[in-house]
Chain A
Amino acid sequence: MLRRYGPPALLLLAAAAAWQGVASLPSVDDLTLASPSEVVQALREDWSLLLDNAGVTLVEVLLGLAIALVGGVAGAVTMHLVRPLREAAYPLLVASQAIPIVVLAPLFVLAFDYGIGPKVAIVGLICFFPITVNVLDGLRSVEPSLLKLMRSLGASPLAILRKVELPASLPSFFSGLRVAASISVIGAVFGEWAGADDGLGRLVLLGNNQLQTPRVYAGVVILALMAVGLFALATLAERVALPWRRTEGAR
């Protein structure tokens, strides 16, 4: 426990101390850099405001992730089973990653209106890619000789998918999910920046415009915690779902 979380905690503390030191230099403007103590104060004073908005953002993130998860897995399985589709769609999928989400966000808001829709869509869009690509790689990672064995046992392609390929793809599915979880929050923030009534992203943008620097930092801290929390949840889910990976690693 201490060995695992000790070093990052220490590094974080050291960074906070350095930050505090720099922020208290007389030459540093309070409006550009809020000190950690000011951020803690903002967290305390604006707690309920921050929490309400964090709740809104979290819902956007979770819905977007859920959609990406279902869509990504379904997409990967379909591409895996239908080879021409995979050959046609895979390059396009990769190319789609070159489109900057920042540019898409306002278009989505135009298309879907101000509500939760465009945010969920953007989160879903950026999370779809890592999940799809990882699941597809996982499905295709099964050794050819294992597939031969299954064929010789008389397994149908569907049985091979269910009994071998899907379980074999779970580790890479969880890698994809971890990546998706850590970038999902960014998607929601972009979505809110393009137009929203509430949410942490909007609060941060507003705080920036109104020169409430400590509140901006407090919002960022909560956004980061959210991403870390989702990442940790994905890791925990993997451990619960794949106990066999531990006995394998022990070999």
Chain B
Amino acid sequence: MQTRLEAPATEPLSFEDTGVTVSGVARRFAAADRARGPVLALNDVSLSAHRGEVLGVLGPSGCGKSTLLELVAGLQEPDAGRVAVCGRASGAERLAACAYMPQRDLLLPWRDAIGNAALALECAGVRPRQARRRARPLFERFGLADFERSMPGELSGGMRQRVAFLRTLLAGRPALLLDEPFASLDSLTRAAMQEWLAGALATEPRTVLFVTHDVEEALFLADRVAVMSPRPGRVVAEIPVPLQRPRPRRETVTDPTFIELKEQALRALEC
């Protein structure tokens, strides 16, 4: 029984347990150039992440990863298929159930770090003062205690990304949708941030859809990785990662299982 619970990919999930389900979703965009037909960004995409699971979405550039996240977030509607978060399918309900972290940090340059994180609470109707007070403990817990009053212009890329992530956490939604959160960072900062995120998710478990085009990043952070094909994006492989989270980096990346999974993911990306 226990093992069945830990291998949820094959489990038919009831809506209460299900974090995010995407089934048979297609999305097309009108081409900027009228002469050509519409662009099919996603075609028959199905995937799911159960409650508390971190699902990595891996795919080449332009395969529709951001589009997929925006669909789940309720910022777009699919042309075909169905998207549900916590069993709710309407756009407004998905908006209310997801916290979306876009590809760039998008901090407001006129607010200090804590003010930026507190924005999530302010949008939920909390008064600014109180919102700052509620954001403060998170700053201490996630290694930002001395940077509360710094302006975004004074923060490093990694710090900015942390603040953006805290803002996402403070939205207090059951599902987190992270769009290449570390793509803009150098590789050292990036490795540090991956560990930081793994730690943060261990203390604040959420259902996470995590988009990346970095194979190692996906395998390091996720419980399961969905590999997408080039446009029109489809899920071509699902790779469960049977390693305990959070994972110690050095042991993990040299682990034979990890290396085998990496091979598998790279092969899936090639076809």
Contacts and interface: CB of A to CB of B under 8 A. Distances in A.
B153 A145 contact: no
B153 A149 contact: no
B120 interface: yes
B153 A154 contact: no
Contacts of B74: 152
B168 to A, nearest CB: 9
Interface string B119-159: 11011100000000000000000000000000111100000
A246 to B, nearest CB: 8
Contact of A247 (B122, B153, B167): B153
Contacts of B73: 148, 152
A164 interface: yes
B70 A163 contact: no
Interface string B175-216: 000000000000000000000000000000000000000000
A251 B153 CA distance: 6
Interface in B209-266: none
B95 A244 contact: no
Interface size class of B (residues with CB under 8 A): 20 to 34
Interface string B62-86: 0000000010011100000000000
A164 B108 contact: yes
Nearest to B73: A152
B95 A154 contact: yes
B103 interface: yes
B98 interface: yes
A155 to B, nearest CB: 4
A239 interface: no
A200 to B, nearest CB: 39
Interface string A148-162: 111111110001000
Interface in B89-116: 95-96, 98-100, 102-104, 106, 108-110
Interface size class of A (residues with CB under 8 A): 20 to 34
Contacts of B75: 148, 151-152
Interface in A205-251: 242, 244-245, 247-251
B103 A153 contact: no
Contacts of B100: 148-149, 152
Contacts of A251: 153
B110 A167 contact: yes
A92 B107 CA distance: 36
A233 to B, nearest CB: 22
Contacts of A163: 108, 119, 122-123
21 contacts: A145-B102, A145-B106, A148-B73, A148-B75, A148-B100, A151-B75, A152-B100, A154-B123, A154-B124, A163-B119, A163-B122, A244-B109, A244-B151, A245-B109, A248-B109, A248-B151, A248-B152, A248-B153, A249-B153, A250-B153, A250-B154
**Top 8 A-B pairs ranked by shortest CB distance?**
A247-B153, A152-B100, A153-B123, A155-B123, A248-B153, A244-B110, A247-B151, A145-B102
Interface of B: 70, 73-75, 95-96, 98-100, 102-104, 106, 108-110, 119-120, 122-124, 151-154, 167, 171
Given A151-B95, A152-B75, A152-B95, 13 more contacts: A145-B102, A148-B75, A149-B102, A150-B123, A152-B99, A153-B119, A153-B124, A154-B123, A154-B124, A167-B108, A245-B109, A248-B152, A250-B153
